[in-house]
Amino acid sequence: MKQYEPDRLTPAEAAAVRRSFRNGRAAMTRRSLLRASAGGALAVGGLGALSACGIPAAGKTQGGVSADDHSAKEKVVDFSNWPEYIDTDDSGKHRPTLDTFTKRTGIQVKYTEDINDNDEFFGKVQPQLAAGQATGRDLVVLTDWLAARMIRLGYVQKLDPSHLPHAFANLSDQFRAPDWDPGRAYSYPWQGISTVIAYNKKALDGIEVRSISDLLDNPKLKGRVGFLTEMRDSVGMTMLDMDKDPAKFTDDDYDAVIARLQKAVDKGQIRRFTGNDYTSDLSKGDFAACVAWAGDIVQLQADSPDVGYVIPDSGYMTSTDNMLIPNKARHKTNAERLIDYYYELEPAAELAAYINYVSPVAGVQPYLAKIDKSAADNPLIVPDKTMQAKSHAFRSLSSKEETAYQQKFAKLTGA
């Protein structure tokens, strides 16, 4: 019998990666609709590296491998992040929050926007991590499902709580206990990402949209509905509508959701599955309603008064992009100081005001109001307790589940 290689990409998964990079979450706007976050073509070796080499079996839960920490003598931290995912001044050359951190601590931040896609980045660093070598990075920002994989494989270091007093105190309850990192021993959120229902009021022309059922079942919306190419978002929102828990579902639950979505596809109810390009369809009215990312809606509403959103009574999906310290990082303490800095209320407010994602920092609202009152009052950026209570996260998947579920979803979307 051929041994199952847990993190090798199947053809369906590889297609999903390419789709995601072209127009999925990887292509979301991080600051405005005019500045794409993907920032370039997928590295030629990225997918090949993933599919050409086996990855160690999952199961490591202790961990990470430290190196000699040179933080005391070397006042530097190497920080890898996504493009357009931090505050920047008008010249584009300075990042005010990082400048303030350096002035206060003397620690220079070597900031690199080299994470364009989760799987592509994993393919780039996995050979080094698997070989027990340093990646040259002290801090990286990865989406929750890949953060879970990195922790499971023992590729990241456990954080020192004594270096994270603000992070521990100010982390929003909504993000404190993911099943893949209970108690946030290895990670802290950089930003949260909410998935909601968006609509074009003019295109709806009086049709009420309050739920995923409305999108899937109302014949008046036939051919004018959009869902996302991101499996966890489209499946998770449909699960909630079917009274299933995305944190505890079974294979049968997943198959029931796929069957329901397939029925909507077959009858032409769903116009298409999209990535970030749904924003154009929604603004023009080609989509009357769609599953959407809240960060995009904040931006769209500034220019498109007909665009609105709904939080279904069944709830909505939330994911996170997370800060982690890779194995063999040379400046671990400096990296922890930078993590903690972004949980201070003023830097957190500056960051939220610029990028318009969900701030994971409790108590940020009054500080954000001093910078941008409309942002502070927007529950898509600072969720109130009622909205937080409706938040749900997709459970972590085993490697075998990831492969099976992606194959089924790829077949549904025609990828």
Token couple for 228: 């996302």
- Which residue is listed with tokens 């080499």? 53
How many beta carbons lie within 10 A of that of residue 285, not counting itself? 17
259-271 confidence digits (pLDDT tens): 999 999 999 999 9
Q: From first to last of the 415 residues of the chain, give the pLDDT tens digit.
A: 333 344 544 444 444 444 344 344 444 443 333 223 222 222 323 333 333 333 333 334 445 666 789 999 999 999 999 988 999 998 878 899 999 999 999 999 999 999 988 888 999 999 999 999 999 999 999 999 999 999 999 999 999 999 999 999 999 999 999 999 999 999 999 999 999 999 999 999 999 999 999 999 999 999 999 999 889 999 999 999 999 999 999 999 999 999 999 999 999 999 999 987 899 999 999 999 999 999 889 889 888 899 999 999 999 999 999 999 999 999 999 999 999 999 999 999 999 999 989 999 999 999 999 999 999 999 999 999 899 999 999 999 988 999 999 999 999 998 6
What's the CA dihedral at 291, 296, 299, 300 to 10 degrees?
Answer: -30
Token couple for 180: 């893949």
Residue 391: φ, ψ to 5°: -80, 140
Query: Residue 274 belongs to what H/E stretch?
Result: strand 270-274
What is the full DSSP assignment across 181-196?
Answer: SGGGSS-EEEEEEEEE
**Structure pTM?**
0.80
Cα–Cα dist 225/233, whole Å? 15
Residue 56: φ, ψ to 5°: -55, 145
Cα–Cα dist 322/175, whole Å? 11
